[in-house]
Amino acid sequence: MKTTLDIQKRLAELGLDPGPVDGIRGRMTINAVKRFQTLNHLEVDGIVGPATLRALFGGAMVKPSESPDVAPWMDVALRMKGLHERRENASLREFLKSDGGTVGDPAKVPWCGDFVQTCLALAMPDEPLPANPYAAINWLTFGKAVAPRRGAVLIFWRGSPDGWQGHIGFYMAEDATHFHVLGGNQADSITVSRIAKTRLRKDGCRWPGSAIDTDAGAVLADGSALFETRNEA
């Protein structure tokens, strides 16, 4: 299976300058993919799906699930895992503003929406995001509603099922009663935590409209070692 590093090396060989050949799908790599797609009369979306992958490397057409650009925002999110709003405040603030905007000091304000927004904006710069992405409830109109799968955006209520307060993060896996959520502002840091399935809002599992959708389905895992978060204020 080809990786982002393989793609960068191939783009560099073709003289399309993907930026640093470091395995990170940044904006320069996305723009180099777009230039390659334009030259080869492919859909210009910056995503290395099956058709672009085949044009880059030849060989047989691969399945969508074999693309290295399935849920690329998860690579961004996982690189930030462990950052704490007080211990690593400077590094966390630098990341949250790296997409061009931030809601403020994460040690003073809720920042789960800021985290999700930053990961998606960096990995999928052409994807429309909510007008106010910092309020979790606003993500209910993002992309499209899907069944749980790795990388999906999960929107939860907080305090009351009918209230406006909420929490947001990325689906990693699930057990019988809880989702395993990669998110910010969970124990004041970026962690994978358990959140009760009963807190998921209606149509609160969303997928970017411009992303590769493999319909991969649920990921079952043992969450006994994970912290359960119940109030992410």
Per-residue CA distances from 52 to 33, 59, 184 (Å) = 8, 12, 33
pLDDT at 43: 95
**Segment 194-204, tens digit of pLDDT:** 999 999 999 99
Q: Is pLDDT at 214 greater than 90 in this prediction?
A: no
pLDDT at 48: 96
Lowest-pLDDT range, 60-69, 114-123, 200-209, 220-229? 60-69
**Segment 39-75, tens digit of pLDDT:** 999 999 999 999 999 999 998 888 888 898 999 999 9
How many Cα atoms occupy the beta-carbon half-sphere of 172 within 13 Å? Answer: 20
Q: How far apart are CA 144 and CA 126, in angstroms?
A: 16
Residue 103: pLDDT band (50, 70, 90) is confident
* Secondary structure E strands in the chain: 144-145, 153-157, 166-174, 178-186, 189-196, 200-207
Q: Is pLDDT at 233 greater than 80 in this prediction?
A: no
pLDDT at 102: 78
Task: Kindly state the percentage of the chain with pLDDT values over 70.
Answer: 100
pLDDT at 98: 94
Average pLDDT, the chain: 95
Give me the domains of the chain, ranges plus CATH numbers. 4-66 (1.10.101), 72-207 (3.90.1720)
Q: Is pLDDT at 182 greater than 80 in this prediction?
A: yes
Long-range contacts of 44-49 (CB under 8 A, 24+ apart): 45/126, 45/210, 46/125, 46/126, 47/210, 47/211, 47/212, 48/2, 48/7, 49/212
pLDDT at 63: 87
Q: How far apart are CA 153 and CA 168, in angstroms?
A: 7
